Amino acid sequence: MTATAGYYLLPAGTVLASMTYNTIGLIFGLLILVAVRWHRPARPWAWILFGTGMILSVVGDFTWWYLEHIRQEEPYPSVADVFYLASYPPLIAGLFLLQRNRGRDLGGLIDAAMVATGLGLVLWVFVLHPVAAVDAASMLERAVSTAYPSLDALLLAMVARLLIDRRVRTPSTDLLGMAAVLLLVADVAFSVASLYFDYEGRAMDWGWLLAYVLWAAAALHPSMAADTPVVSGPGRVSRGRLVILGLCSVLAPVLLVIPSVGADTVDRVVIAAGAAVLFVLGVARMAVVMAKVRGQAVELERLANQDDLTGLHNRRHFYRALGEALVGSRPQVVLLGLNRLRAINDELGHLAGDDVIVQIADRIRALAGPDALVARLSGDEFAVLVRDAPEGGADAVAGLLAGAVHDPVDTRGYEVLVGAGIGVAGGADAAGPAEVLRRAGVAMFAAKQSGEPYRRWAPGLDERSVEEARLGAQIRHALAERQFQVVYQPIVVMPEQRVAAVEALVRWHHPRLGTVSPAQFIPVAERNGLIVELGAWILQTACEQLVRWTVELGPDAPDRVSVNVSARQLARPGFAGTVADVLARTGLPAYRLTVEVTETAVFDGGPAVTALHELRALGVRIALDDFGTGHSSLGLLQNVPVDILKIDKSFVDRITEAGRHAVIAEAMIQVSNGLGLDAVAEGVETAEQAQALTRLGYRLLQGYHFGRPAAEPEFARIRVARGLTVPGAAALS
Ligand code: C2E
Ligand code: CA
Ligand code: CA
């Protein structure tokens, strides 16, 4: 700046003034090249071209000065113009390079073309055409003087593009834009001045000089290093841009209004052509905008119908597709709900949970086949829409899926078992999509409860779920109304048949329904959570009872009481504390209490197993109920503290027949002996079974043969029956 200002202080036309001018230009041109080394911009070639352009221009200046002052020749047109004109292509090319790959912004390109056409028209009318029309001028002179504004128009298009898009602006591009605009203004001013006013001065020099300075400043600014961001999304059209485009579009008619312009035929033709080009560009611009809007609509549609995590369709899309399929065909829905996702999230974190979901989604996608539509309906629910399959065709899919989700999932070094319930619905009388999904949901729920691989919806299932809701409400009521009772079933020691323990079993005396089996209401109470309250009451009652018997019967009282504890109770934090409280309140020593849990309750590990360890620490004994029916992994016995195995009734039932049941029962007593555990055989109904079990080595037996569950079992009479060939146990109950 100082240098530029200083230049004007020098006497006009002196050698010193010209030299200063040229030196300033040269220095700034070289500065750009230095800046390239310095900032290492993303697009060095653009800047090298700028520097080259400026140096060429300076060479032009020098030639001009040489011709004018040394050779005393007329410098215009001359070799100097060759250098001047040669300086434009690098500048234009540099600006083009700088803006390449800007996300294929076709709209921006059209906008720039519109600006260039509009301003080009003005240039033509006021500069190009008049210059071309000057009779005195030679052909060469005319050609040269039209070449400048034409190159300026090209430069203008590039600058327009640079400035029009606000998204790619940095301080550096702003400076660049200002420099280019200044260059244009100076060029045009020079042409106009020399054309209309026969001007020969150097007032325009300031413009060119300042342009050099700004150009160099743009190169020196640190922001030049930043690559202009690649914009892929549709850019917003700013209001400023709209105003500029609007002005350019109306330029043609406005020009025609000017009297001298409107009168000239050539001008009118050029303006008409310009107007036509502007019109076409305008239409093209609209098409680009429309295409962008359409693209956005497609993207929005995709986002609205897709599940982010898995890339599967989402509920909204599934619902609509199901609705459409229901018109005219009989689609079927396979609904799959994961079992253990919550636990996985809690234990391994949400990233693991997400990973499991993605892997399961991949399995489902792979198995469902290319024609099926797979969706993730909610956090842990997936659905497959089976179109145009024969009735029952979805069952094949359901079977495949059941197999696939059964395999463990490998996540972050853990092998986790997820498990799922699968429901199938649809077909003949399929109602609306909501109803089909509801039916599939009911079936899935039923499958989860029964542990079947999958379940197809049937009207009976609905009744069951309505029934369940009613039962839930009644259990709540029954707790308050004290309709529950605890009964006790003897567990005897063979061969003397002394009652070593009793198992506490709950009964519900419903005022209208009579006695409801725990097999009916315990699962419901487990699902609605009432088991926690009910279970605490049972535990308290059973402990109180054993204390009372001890006081009343002395040595005839059973040593221990077994209380069933469901998975839900066990997994609740503080369960061991509840047990300790009950023991303290009732005064029952911990060793006289046994807690019966099923394999399934502890198979998943987690809080249930922790609770068992805490109970063990209290001195409470732990029995594994229904042993042999669940996952039956002996590995379980390594992690879970167990004192007693209760061999399930199903093995006892056929113990007298020669077959695998007897073999398994024998293996089980050997395992429990080997591990130092007690084994109790459940559901012994006959003397033959009792004998067979005793022969195999079972010492503890339980079943109707020895006594049915009762409020007050007759402990003494069982002992009296000892030694009888046929104990006639049924008569005891
Ligand atoms: P469980 O723990 O396996 O209990 C044994 C069931 O087998 C009892 O049925 C019992 O009455 C029955 N049983 C005993 N001996 C024989 C026999 O010789 N033959 C036959 N056919 N059955 C026999 P119950 O009392 O109906 O209980 C069913 C299930 O309900 C229990 O199975 C247990 O899982 C659950 N349950 C019962 N009471 C409670 C309780 O207080 N709390 C919890 N959480 N669950 C309970
Ligand atoms: Ca039991
Ligand atoms: Ca059992």
Q: What is the pLDDT of residue 708?
A: 94
- Kindly state if the Cβ of 520 falls inside 6 Å of ligand 1: no
Q: Which two tokens stand for residue 264?
A: 């000239």
Residues in the chain: 733
User: Rounded to the nearest whole angstrom, what is the distance from the C-alpha of residue 530 to the centroid of ligand 1?
Assistant: 18
CB-based contact 275:251 (threshold 8 Å): no
Q: How far apart are the first and last CA of the chain?
A: 114
Q: Which helix (H) or strand (E) holds 513?
A: none
- Kindly state if the Cβ of 538 falls inside 6 Å of ligand 1: yes
Alpha-carbon distance values, 430 to 136, 237, 260, 334, 714 (Å): 93, 50, 80, 14, 57
For 19-54, how does the pLDDT look when each residue is reduced to its tens digit (9 = 90+)?
787 888 888 888 888 888 888 887 788 888 988 988
Centre a 10 Å sphere on the Cβ of residue 233 and count the other Cβ atoms it contains. 11
- Kindly state if the Cβ of 395 falls inside 6 Å of ligand 1: no
Q: Which range in 404-408, 551-555, 700-704 is most confidently predicted, on average pLDDT?
A: 700-704
CB-based contact 191:131 (threshold 8 Å): yes
Angle between helices 518-528 and 459-480 (to 10 degrees): 80
Query: Which of 626, 633, 670 lies closest to 651, judged by CA?
Result: 626
CB-based contact 261:267 (threshold 8 Å): yes
For 99-131, how does the pLDDT look when each residue is reduced to its tens digit (9 = 90+)?
765 555 777 778 878 888 887 888 778 777 776
Least confident of 55-59, 401-405, 525-529: 525-529
For 220-232, how does the pLDDT look when each residue is reduced to its tens digit (9 = 90+)?
888 887 765 544 4
Alpha-carbon distance values, 28 to 25, 64, 89, 248, 637 (Å): 5, 19, 19, 34, 84
Angle at 453 between CA 449 and CA 456, to 5 degrees: 80
* % of the chain exceeding 70 in pLDDT: 89
3-state secondary structure of 493: strand
- Kindly state if the Cβ of 625 falls inside 6 Å of ligand 1: yes
Q: What is the pLDDT of residue 7?
A: 53
**How far apart (Å, rounded) are the C-alpha atoms in residues 182 and 152?**
11
Q: What is the pLDDT of residue 271?
A: 85
Least confident of 286-295, 426-435, 616-625: 426-435
Q: Which range in 294-298, 691-695, 716-720 is most confidently predicted, on average pLDDT?
A: 691-695
Q: What is the pLDDT of residue 592?
A: 97
- For residue 595, pLDDT over 70 is answered with yes
Q: What is the pLDDT of residue 724?
A: 43
The single-letter DSSP state of residue 431 is -
* List of E strands, 127-232: none
Residue among 492, 563, 564 whose CB has most ligand 1 atoms within 8 A, to mutate: 564
Q: What's the whole-number mean pLDDT along residues 324-337?
A: 90
Q: What's the whole-number mean pLDDT along residues 668-676?
A: 88
**How far apart (Å, rounded) are the C-alpha atoms in residues 596 and 593?**
10
CA-proximal residue: ligand 1, atom 3 (nearest)? 626
User: Rounded to the nearest whole angstrom, what is the distance from the C-alpha of residue 565 to the centroid of ligand 2?
Assistant: 8
User: What is the DSSP code string of 17-42?
Assistant: HHHHHHHHHHHHHHHHHHHHHHH--S
**Segments making up each domain of the chain, as ranges:** 2-232, 315-457, 481-716
Kindly report the CATH number that applies to the domain delimited by 2-232.
Answer: 1.20.1070
3-state SS track over 42-99: CCHHHHHHHHHHHHHHHHHHHHHHHHHHHCCCCCCCCHHHHHHHHHHHHHHHHHHHHC
3-state secondary structure of 610: helix
Closest ligand (CA of 689): 1
- Kindly state if the Cβ of 703 falls inside 6 Å of ligand 1: yes
Q: What's the whole-number mean pLDDT along residues 513-540?
A: 89
CB-based contact 116:102 (threshold 8 Å): no
**How far apart (Å, rounded) are the C-alpha atoms in residues 499 and 493?**
6
3-state secondary structure of 457: coil
Q: What's the whole-number mean pLDDT along residues 684-703?
A: 95
CATH class for the region spanning 315-457: alpha beta
CB-based contact 596:503 (threshold 8 Å): yes
Angle at 145 between CA 144 and CA 148, to 5 degrees: 85
For 422-434, how does the pLDDT look when each residue is reduced to its tens digit (9 = 90+)?
999 986 666 788 8
More confident residue, 204 or 691: 691
Q: What is the pLDDT of residue 199?
A: 65
User: Rounded to the nearest whole angstrom, what is the distance from the C-alpha of residue 588 to the centroid of ligand 1?
Assistant: 23
- Kindly state if the Cβ of 310 falls inside 6 Å of ligand 1: no
Residues lying with their CB under 5 A of ligand 3, a single-atom ion? 625-626, 682
Centre a 10 Å sphere on the Cβ of residue 477 and count the other Cβ atoms it contains. 11
Q: What is the pLDDT of residue 12?
A: 56
Q: What is the pLDDT of residue 467?
A: 79
Output the pTM of the full model: 0.49
User: Rounded to the nearest whole angstrom, what is the distance from the C-alpha of residue 496 to the centroid of ligand 1?
Assistant: 24
Q: Which two tokens stand for residue 123?
A: 């240039």
Q: What is the pLDDT of residue 76?
A: 74
Least confident of 71-85, 361-375, 473-487, 513-527: 71-85
Homologous superfamily of the 481-716 domain (CATH): EAL domain (3.20.20.450)
Query: Which of 226, 225, 231 lies closest to 101, judged by CA?
Result: 231
Q: What's the whole-number mean pLDDT along residues 660-684?
A: 88
For 453-472, how does the pLDDT look when each residue is reduced to its tens digit (9 = 90+)?
899 998 888 887 787 788 88
Closest ligand (CA of 704): 1
Q: What is the pLDDT of residue 11?
A: 54
